[in-house]
Amino acid sequence: MRTDSHVNLSAKVRGYVDLMKLRVVELLLVSTLPAMVLAEGRLPSLSLTIATLIGGTLAAGSANAFNMVIESETDKLMQRTAKRPLATGVLNNREATIFATFIGLLSLAIFQIFTTSLATLLTLIAITFYVLVYTIALKRRTPQNIVWGGAAGCMPALIGWAAVTNSLSVTAWSFFLVIFFWTPPHFWALAIKYKDDYAAAGIPMLPVVATKTHLLRQMWVYTIAMIASSIALIINADLQLWAQVANVILGLVFALQLRGLDEKSENYEKTAGKIFNWSISYLSLLSILLVAAQVLKA
């Protein structure tokens, strides 16, 4: 028979895992590996890959945990976040802060020992930027919060490259820009669904404060910039023509999804949900394309 202490321990363990928001971390890792492959010109060593991915997981988990500590009260006001471990009381802020600090320091140690100093520095910048600039400085102050704050989510493209070369290149920055421009339409599509949640919490996400017309215009601007950046990425990485053709097709499918977001439609939120799901597929497929094209080229 299970004891209460065992149940509580299991709940706490799950709580610590939930603090890291591993489903979000998956997207960050999706952009790390292609950057490493492009930097190496082939598949990097298994040991370096594992160290970078583990370090990246812990770093992103640390940033996410700090984010939950800072927003522990706000999370109680939103249906989407009301079941997070700090909002439910499974963990307290002190426990979460200690955990976030520990795995953050551990991630930096892993990067420093097994990768490069530049990758370590970039990881520290990414954690600090997400916590201080996005969560504290921007999120509650501007509807452009996810645009600039989302830069932290682009850092794996640079970190993956730096982990291999201890330097950065035009190709690495091109990949950074693809993710930078991908982030707003990706996140705003989700924010459309949870518009009322953000409004209740007093967070000025663009779908909350802007008209549908303005929001859609902004999503188009960033989508077009994303496609242009992805074309530049393929060129700078010197990948094959077939890779560019496939890349353009992926971008056009993204645009077609966005084209279906009719502000007068009764299925507005449902369509936004499809765009959000496709945006995840887009980034995953682009990453697979980059790896495949580079490996076949080598």
Q: Distance (Å, rounded) from C-alpha 210 to C-alpha 208? A: 6
Q: Distance (Å, rounded) from C-alpha 105 to C-alpha 44? A: 25
- Residue-wise pLDDT for 109-165, tens only, equals 999 999 999 999 999 999 999 999 999 999 989 998 999 888 999 999 999 999 999
pLDDT of residue 263: 75
Residue 175: closest CA among 79, 273, 284, 32: 32
- Residue-wise pLDDT for 259-277, tens only, equals 888 777 778 888 899 999 9
Classify domain 10-297 by CATH architecture. Answer: Orthogonal Bundle (1.10)
Distances (CA, A) of 119 to 62, 184, 212: 16, 25, 40
Three-class DSSP category at 115: coil
Tell the residue number behind the tokens 């017309």, with chain if given. 213
- Residue-wise pLDDT for 138-148, tens only, equals 998 999 899 98
Contact 107, 123 (CB under 8 A): yes
Domain positions in the chain are 10-297
